[in-house]
Structure 1
Amino acid sequence: MKKKFLILGTMVFLLTSCAIIRPGETGVKQTLGEFSDEVITQGTVFYNPFVSKVIKESTQTSNIKLVLSLPSKEGLSVESEISILYRLEQSKIPSVLTNLGQEYESIITSVFRSASSDVCAKFYAKDMHSGMRATIEEEIKVKMEDNLSKQADGIELIAVLMKSIQLPMGLASSIEQKLQAEQDAMRMEFILQQATLEADRKIIEAKGERDAQKILSEGLTDELIQIRSIEAFRELSRSQNSKIIITDGKTPLLIEPNQ
């Protein structure tokens, strides 16, 4: 019986004194409250459960989701859904745990709140809903990195994403009206351009016809008319049909074929 209890106790001790580190995880031993500098990767880790434990942390990309009211330059509040993408640098996890503890996500969130308030206060509310959004996101990320580096080294910020931005009702309506006015103005400009092109085309056509008539009238001299008359008489003389030609001797006045 004692032997069974001894075997059972040994098994329980072994089960409670080992940790399995899976892919995407790392382990750090904490002995009497102090973290080891050694980072344990995949595999089984044995430790003394009476004085030590193994803290597991993910090295995969994590996503902190927040819904915040961000201030703008004109003093408005802009509601936005935020995603903070980050991951822990494997070799620096002991530093993160030592300086920030296991609740480091709350530190990241607090740092974001401060950085986002400072950055967004420099921009107008409409900027958060336009092409300036990427600039705002990048500035928040840079400011967060600066603040986090003062507290702990080992948190890699991948991106700060502002999503589902909701502008104040009155501002949203004003922006929509402005965009509609801009579209109407662009449409009218296009119509005017088309009308101008059509008018230019008609002017060019009229000018071409006028020039053609001018050239033709200038080219019809008495000598040219006489030459054309001679050519016409010549063509008539070659015809086998009988005809009556009334002329003043210079130009044909009437040509009537005799059927």
Structure 2
Amino acid sequence: MVVEGEWEPEPQKRVPDIPLGAIPPIFSKLARIIPIIFVILILFSIMFGSIFVSVGAGEVGVKFNQFGGVEEDELGEGLHIVPPWVSVTKYSVRSETYTMSGIEGEGQVTGDDQIKALTVEGLTLGLDITVRYRLMSDEVSTVHQNLGTNYAEKIIRPTIRSSIREVVSTKTALQVYGEERQLVAGEMLTNIDQALGSDGIIVEEVLVRNVVLPTRVAEAIEAKLQADQEAQRMIFVKEKEQLEAERKIIEANGVANATIAEAHGEAEALRIINEQLAKNPDLINYKYIQMLQGQDIQTMLVPTDQGIILDASNS
């Protein structure tokens, strides 16, 4: 019964039932299979661990099969699905550094980890070294199988120490400490890279950050370096003075040549004047009178052989 003024909801429309026969068989099978697959995956994840592995940027995943050992194909960056019986160990293939230093807390080893090496003279040097390296992305499985995750301590550290001592043993203290330090670092880089290349490790740079010499040797080298610098300065001063002397000689020669040229010009001018005077003796009187023109002269004297005195007051 509907009371006047009350709102009556509209009757809901009935959605017609779709007969099961109208759904394609393949979709109905998938609708039953997919939930079963997810249930199985969840059970495997609970029993054996997650089957989804995410490899981050700058990393490579190494697969270890419980039934076959380490697999050669590595996993690149991104999300991967692996069987439950396969575990994945991730390695960084970015540039890493290994530092050995005498300053506590600066390197991988706590305390004084400075490398001590003997020079060709038998002197003991202390070296603070930093090596920049990275793993070859296609050789990470080999590193994992042969060295494991602690490869830096197992192979990089001893190789660095051995190679650096080998190079220093062929150099003098001055070569390692002085201007040839970069050349020595280049030889160290070559030695270490060759030693680690077969293990799947690339060495990118070797930095000789500090060289500690015995006190007396350091003082002697400093004195020698100062003497060399002073000798270089004196050579520079000598060359500068020689250049200045050459400049003055050139300048004097120029002045002399100019004076000679001027004298020749004057002599030639006098010769021409003498020739003209010999031809016309009165020319000198004309030049004399011409020189006096424009001057405030009351009386002008002319040579006595002219016999006259000219009064210039009314000129």
TM-score (norm 2): 0.62
Q: 1:244 aligns with which of 300, 303, 307?
A: 300
Larger-gyration structure (1/2): 2
Report the alpha carbon displacement of residue 121 of structure 1 after superposing the two structures with TM: 1.9
The residue aligned with 1:36 is: 71
Report the alpha carbon displacement of residue 40 of structure 1 after superposing the two structures with TM: 1.2
**Alpha-carbon distance in 2 for matches of 1:248, 1:126:** 96
C-alpha change, 1:124 and 1:247, in structure 2 (3 Å) is: farther
Which is bigger in relative contact order (C-alpha 8 A, separation at least 6)? 1
Q: 5 Å matches for 1:56-205?
A: 56-67=90-101, 68-106=115-153, 107-150=155-198, 152=199, 154-168=200-214, 169-201=218-250, 203-205=252-254
Report the alpha carbon displacement of residue 234 of structure 1 after superposing the two structures with TM: 6.0
Report the alpha carbon displacement of residue 242 of structure 1 after superposing the two structures with TM: 6.0
C-alpha change, 1:247 and 1:208, in structure 2 (3 Å) is: farther
**Alpha-carbon distance in 2 for matches of 1:177, 1:120:** 24
- 1:137–1:161 Cα contact (<8 Å) kept: yes
**Alpha-carbon distance in 1 for matches of 2:236, 2:173:** 27
C-alpha change, 1:96 and 1:224, in structure 2 (3 Å) is: farther
Gaps of 5+ in 1: 1-7, 250-256
**Alpha-carbon distance in 2 for matches of 1:158, 1:238:** 94
**Alpha-carbon distance in 1 for matches of 2:207, 2:239:** 37
Report the alpha carbon displacement of residue 57 of structure 1 after superposing the two structures with TM: 0.3
- Answer yes or no: is 1:223 the counterpart of 2:271: no
Report the alpha carbon displacement of residue 75 of structure 1 after superposing the two structures with TM: 2.5
- 1:21–1:45 Cα contact (<8 Å) kept: no
**Alpha-carbon distance in 1 for matches of 2:205, 2:60:** 23
For residues 70-127 of structure 1, the C-alpha deviation after alignment (integer angstroms, 9 at most, x for no partner) is 4322222333322211111111111112222222212112112111111222222222
TM-score (norm 1): 0.74
Bigger strand fraction: 1
- 2:175–2:181 Cα contact (<8 Å) kept: yes
**Alpha-carbon distance in 2 for matches of 1:231, 1:159:** 94
The residue aligned with 1:235 is: 290
Identity %: 18
C-alpha change, 1:54 and 1:185, in structure 2 (3 Å) is: same
What secondary structure sits across from 2:116 in the alignment?
strand
**Alpha-carbon distance in 1 for matches of 2:266, 2:207:** 76
For residues 201-243 of structure 1, the C-alpha deviation after alignment (integer angstroms, 9 at most, x for no partner) is 4532552354146425633337158377365146258769665
For residues 180-206 of structure 1, the C-alpha deviation after alignment (integer angstroms, 9 at most, x for no partner) is 313431342144225413531453255
Report the alpha carbon displacement of residue 61 of structure 1 after superposing the two structures with TM: 1.0
What secondary structure sits across from 1:91 in the alignment?
helix
**Alpha-carbon distance in 1 for matches of 2:222, 2:293:** 87
Gaps of 5+ in 2: 1-41, 102-114, 306-311
